[in-house]
C-alpha cells in the first residue's frame, strides 16, 4: 500500500478524468424520502459533478455489478437436432466510486464464495478483474453496525481508498493501476499533520457507532436456538418479499432458468438472483417444499449469514450495513432479531431451576 494525500479539488479533477470515457458508477441522490431523508443509489456517472461524494449510504448495495440480478450463463443454438453451446465471460471495464468499507468487505466475501471454492465462477472473475474500485470512508448512520462485524475498516479488495481529512483525502493506493493514474495529478506525501488527521478521523468514525450487536459466540448460540419460538415470531412479520436479499451486499443465492427464443432456434440459460425468503426457494421437483413456513425461511437466512459461514470459513457473511433492515417494510432487522434471541436465552437462564447438586 502507498499512502498519499490529494486536495479535494484535485481529486474531483482525477475523478472527472477517469469517469469521462469509462463505464463508471457513483453514488447519486435519486429521491427524497417522505421523512426528508435523501435516497442514494449507485448510478452511471459521466463527471465528478454528478457524484454525491458526501452521501450517506446507497439503498441497494454494489453487489449487482459483480452478480447481476439476471445474467446469461450461456446460449444454445439448435440445428438439425443437434446443438451448440456458447459461453461468454466478457465484462466491460467498470469503475465504481464511493464504496464504503462494508461494501468492499462484502465484495471480498463474495470473492471467497465465487473464486476460492471448488468451482470458481468465471463470470464473477471477469467482472471482478475488470472493475476498478474507489472506496470512501464515512461517519456511520445511527443504524450501521459494521463495527460489531469488524467491517468498519478494510485493507484490501479495492484499488484506491479515500479517507476524508477535511480539505484533503488521505489516499490508500492499493494497485499499480491506481498509482499510475494518480501520478498525473497533484498528489503529495502525507505530512505529520495529515497522519494525525487520519488517526483522528478513524477514531471519530469508530466512536460514532450507535448500534452494536453482540456477535461473539453467535454461531453456537444459533445452534442452541434452532427451535426457539423467536423464529416464528419474526417469521409472522416477514412478508416473503425478498427485498432484504436483493439489497444485501452478500446474498448471492440464485435460481437458473432456461428461456427459449421465440423462433425455437436457440435458448438462453440465465441465472437470476433469488432469496431464501421467497416461498418456493426450497421447493423441489414434484412440488414438495422443504421450507413452507415463513419462520423457517427467515431462520435459514440468519443461519447462512451468522452461522454457516462462521462455522465453515471463520467469518460471518453479514457486514453490518443494515440495508436489509432499512428495506424491510415489516421492520425486521438483524439487530432486533439477534438481540431478541439473546434476550430469550438470558431470561431463560434466570428462570430455570438451578443446576443439580453434585452430591
Binding site for other proteins (CB under 8 A): 30-31, 33-34, 39, 41, 43, 59-60, 64, 69-70, 78, 81, 83, 236-243, 246-247, 257-264, 273, 275, 278-280, 292, 294, 327, 329-331
Cα–Cα distance between 12 and 70 in angstroms, integer?
33
- Helices of type H across the chain: 8-20, 101-115, 122-129, 176-182, 192-207, 218-224, 230-235, 243-247, 294-303, 309-313, 323-327, 334-351
Q: Identify the burial level of 265 via C-beta atoms within 10 angstroms of its C-beta, where 0-12 means exposed, 13-18 middle and 19 or more buried.
A: exposed
Nearest distance from C-beta of residue 66 to other proteins, angstroms: 15
Q: Which is nearer to other proteins, 224 or 330 (CB)?
A: 330
Question: Residue 215 has which C-alpha cell?
Answer: 456477535
Nearest distance from C-beta of residue 118 to other proteins, angstroms: 28
Nearest distance from C-beta of residue 285 to other proteins, angstroms: 12
- C-alpha distances out from residue 317 to 150, 251, 302, Å: 11, 9, 10
Q: Which is nearer to other proteins, 68 or 179 (CB)?
A: 68
Q: Which is nearer to other proteins, 203 or 265 (CB)?
A: 265
Q: Which is nearer to other proteins, 188 or 258 (CB)?
A: 258
Q: Which is nearer to other proteins, 279 or 343 (CB)?
A: 279
Q: Which is nearer to other proteins, 83 or 89 (CB)?
A: 83
Q: Which is nearer to other proteins, 273 or 318 (CB)?
A: 273
Nearest distance from C-beta of residue 69 to other proteins, angstroms: 4
Q: Which is nearer to other proteins, 64 or 342 (CB)?
A: 64
CB distance 271 to 255 below 8 Å:
yes
Distance of CA 179 to the CA centre of its chain: 26
**Residue 120 neighbours by CB under 8 Å, 6+ apart:** 114
Nearest distance from C-beta of residue 61 to other proteins, angstroms: 10
Residue 1: which of 141, 123, 158, 109 has the closest Cα? Answer: 158
Nearest distance from C-beta of residue 283 to other proteins, angstroms: 8
Handedness of CA 40, 38, 239, 108 (dihedral sign): positive
Nearest distance from C-beta of residue 200 to other proteins, angstroms: 35
DSSP string, 297-335: HHHHHHHIIIIIHHHHHSS-S--S--HHHHH-TT---HH
Nearest distance from C-beta of residue 19 to other proteins, angstroms: 19
Cα–Cα distance between 44 and 56 in angstroms, integer?
18
Handedness of CA 178, 59, 46, 65 (dihedral sign): positive
Q: Which is nearer to other proteins, 65 or 158 (CB)?
A: 65
Nearest distance from C-beta of residue 98 to other proteins, angstroms: 15
CB distance 111 to 128 below 8 Å:
yes
Amino acid at each position: 500500500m502507498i499512502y498519499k494525500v490529494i486536495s479535494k479539488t484535485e481529486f474531483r479533477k482525477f475523478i472527472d478524468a477517469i469517469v469521462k470515457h469509462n463505464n463508471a458508477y457513483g453514488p447519486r441522490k435519486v429521491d427524497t424520502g417522505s421523512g426528508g431523508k435523501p435516497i442514494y443509489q449507485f448510478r452511471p456517472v459521466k463527471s465528478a459533478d454528478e457524484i454525491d461524494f458526501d452521501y450517506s449510504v446507497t439503498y441497494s448495495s454494489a453487489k449487482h455489478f459483480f452478480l447481476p440480478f439476471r445474467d446469461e450463463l450461456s446460449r444454445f443454438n439448435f440445428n438439425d437436432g443437434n446443438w451448440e453451446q456458447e459461453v461468454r465471460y466478457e465484462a466491460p471495464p467498470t469503475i465504481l466510486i464511493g464504496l464504503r468499507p462494508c461494501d468492499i468487505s462484502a465484495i471480498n466475501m463474495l470473492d471467497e464464495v465465487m473464486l476460492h471454492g471448488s468451482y470458481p465462477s468465471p463470470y464473477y472473475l471477469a467482472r471482478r478483474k475488470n472493475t476498478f474500485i474507489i472506496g470512501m470512508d464515512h461517519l456511520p448512520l445511527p443504524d450501521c453496525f459494521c463495527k460489531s462485524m469488524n467491517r468498519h475498516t478494510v485493507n484490501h479488495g479495492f484499488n484506491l481508498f479515500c479517507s476524508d481529512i477535511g480539505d484533503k483525502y488521505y489516499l490508500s493506493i492499493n494497485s499499480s493501476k491506481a498509482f499510475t493514474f494518480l501520478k498525473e495529478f497533484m498528489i503529495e506525501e502525507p505530512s505529520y499533520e495529515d497522519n494525525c488527521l487520519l488517526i483522528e478521523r478513524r477514531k471519530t468514525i469508530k466512536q460514532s457507532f450507535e448500534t452494536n450487536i453482540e456477535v461473539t459466540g453467535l454461531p453456537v448460540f444459533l445452534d442452541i436456538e434452532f427451535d426457539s419460538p423467536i423464529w416464528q415470531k419474526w417469521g409472522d412479520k416477514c412478508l416473503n418479499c425478498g427485498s432484504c436479499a436483493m439489497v444485501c451486499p452478500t446474498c448471492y443465492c440464485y435460481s437458473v432458468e432456461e428461456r427459449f427464443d421465440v423462433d425455437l432456434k436457440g435458448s438462453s440459460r440465465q441465472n437470476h438472483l433469488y432469496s431464501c425468503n421467497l416461498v418456493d426457494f426450497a421447493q423441489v421437483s414434484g412440488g414438495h417444499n422443504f421450507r413452507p413456513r415463513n419462520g423457517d425461511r427467515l431462520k435459514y437466512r440468519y443461519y447462512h449469514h451468522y452461522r454457516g459461514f462462521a462455522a465453515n470459513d471463520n467469518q460471518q457473511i453479514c457486514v453490518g450495513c443494515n440495508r436489509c433492515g432499512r428495506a424491510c417494510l415489516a421492520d425486521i432487522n438483524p439487530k432486533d432479531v439477534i438481540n431478541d434471541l439473546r434476550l430469550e436465552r438470558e431470561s431463560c437462564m434466570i428462570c430455570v431451576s438451578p443446576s443439580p447438586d453434585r452430591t
